[in-house]
Amino acid sequence: MTAPSSRNTRSIPRPPGAAALAPVFLAALLLHACADDPTDPPLPPAASRILVEPDSVVLDTIGAGATLTATVIDTEGDTIDDATVTWASADREIATVDTAGTVTAVGFGQTRISARYDTLTGVAAVEVARTFTDREILEMFYEATGGGDWNENTNWLSDRPLSQWAGIETDAEGKVSGISLPRNNITGNIPPELGHLANLEVLSIYGNLLAGRMPPELGMLTSLRELSLSANLLSGPIPAELGSLVGVVSVHLSDNQLSGAIPSELGQLESLEVLWLFDNGLSGRLPAALGNLASLREMSISGNRLEGPLPPEIGNLDSLRRLSLHSNSLGGALPAEVGQLGKLEVLWLGGNGITGPLPAELGNLGALKQLDLRNNQVNGSIPPELRIIS
């Protein structure tokens, strides 16, 4: 059998342009393969939020400045390092901000500074607060509280040294260290500027006709040791900001018209020895945080609307000698931890809804001299050790 002749061999014709299309086809295959390659890096996580720090700034004079930082954080909680934000001020007549986040005070008041990235915005509050001299603050107090009708206002608004103004004490620097004007026919509201008396140690204006709410700015009086505002017409809640008065020894707010819950922040007053809140309209539970007041010797919160059981943390008040909570709506069983108050001399709990038997641990109150449990719902026997109390 002979091989076929080459003359009978026919080549398959190529379509026109096939040679030119071949490289394009191969390139398309390569691109398709690359697109399906699972080793390609994933898209980075999207931005989720902007953190502006600090989130609030107080500038004390025109021209004062502060620098804010903005951190862009993605959906995985990581920082986007190369993100650039755009800064803006909500009120350029109060404060301006440059591209680096530097804020400059140009007027008194409050505004917001924003940092924007894509559709996200982070903000910081900015306050430009005017600073006052002690003399100016006392003048504002006089005008706000009817100073012209006070019983005693000798030398007030005069150019005499402040130490010669009635009821005012000053320190060696001439700064106001004490205001003592009890029973002086003082009316009106306490001006918030009073909180700027940085050296004030005594604020005693009890027995007057002060009304309205206690300004939260009183919490700025970090040198204060005595706060006495009892027997006025103050209303509204006790400002939580009073928890910043870490050096205060006595707080007298009794016989007013205060309402709302006792702020747990009062448990931060590590130097507090006397707390008078009686004869108000305070409600809610006694905060467990009051058990942190290791220096407390006397706590009187009778004549309010407190409810719920006594917190067991009250047993931590090692220095307590007098506890008066009568005439409230306290309920539940008396916690056994009360028996840990080894220095307690007076325990007044009458006129509540305390239930159940008296804990045997009350017999550990060796210093107790007065115990009032009348008008409650306690039952059972009295611990033998308590029967010797006259």
Pairing, β 322-324 against β 168-170: unpaired
This prediction's pTM? 0.74
For the segment 186-228, what is each residue's pLDDT rounded down to a tens digit? 999 999 999 999 999 999 999 999 999 999 999 999 999 999 9
89 and 124 fall within a common domain: yes
Residue 37: the pLDDT is: 54
Specify the long-range contacts of residues 255-261, CB closer than 8 Å, at least 24 apart.
255/230, 255/231, 255/279, 255/280, 256/229, 256/230, 256/231, 256/232, 256/280, 257/233, 257/281, 258/214, 258/234, 258/282, 259/235, 259/283, 260/236, 260/284, 261/237, 261/285, 261/287
Greater pLDDT, 34 or 145: 145
Q: 122 and 150: one domain?
A: no
Residue 12 clears pLDDT 50, i.e. is over it: no
Q: Is 231 within the bounds of a domain?
A: yes
The pLDDT value recorded for residue 389 is 53
pLDDT at 10: 44
CA distances from 201 to 171, 296, 313 (A): 10, 19, 30
Whether residue 279 is found in the same domain as residue 174: yes
Give the pLDDT band of residue 390 (cuts 50, 70, 90): very low
Task: Give a yes or no: residue 39 inside a domain.
Answer: no
Mean pLDDT of 220-240: 98
* 309-361 per-position pLDDT tens digit: 999 999 999 999 999 999 999 999 999 999 999 999 999 999 999 999 999 99
- If one counts the domains in the chain, the total is 2
Same domain, 234 and 138: yes
Given pLDDT bands bounded at 50, 70 and 90, which one contains residue 88? very high
Distances from the Cα of 375 to the Cαs of 129, 349, 370, 372, 378, in angstroms?
A: 53, 9, 16, 9, 9
Choose one of 112, 128, 144: the last residue of a domain.
Answer: 128
- Round to whole Å and give the CA distance between 300 and 312: 17
Token pair in block for residue 178: 């004490």
Determine the length of the chain: 390
Whole-number pLDDT of residue 260: 98
Please indicate, yes or no, whether residues 107 and 212 belong to a single structural domain of this protein. Answer: no
- pLDDT for res 342: 95
Provide the mean pLDDT of the chain.
Answer: 89
For residue 68, give the CATH number of its domain. Answer: 2.60.40.1080
As a dihedral over the C-alpha atoms of residue 180, residue 302, residue 322, residue 362, rounded to 10 degrees, the angle is: -170
Domain that holds residue 336: 134-388
Domain shared by 370 and 222, yes or no = yes
Quick one: pLDDT at residue 61?
A: 81
Residues 145 and 270 in one domain: yes
138 and 121 assigned to the same domain? no
Which domain CATH number covers 363?
Answer: 3.80.10.10
Are 211 and 330 members of one domain?
Answer: yes
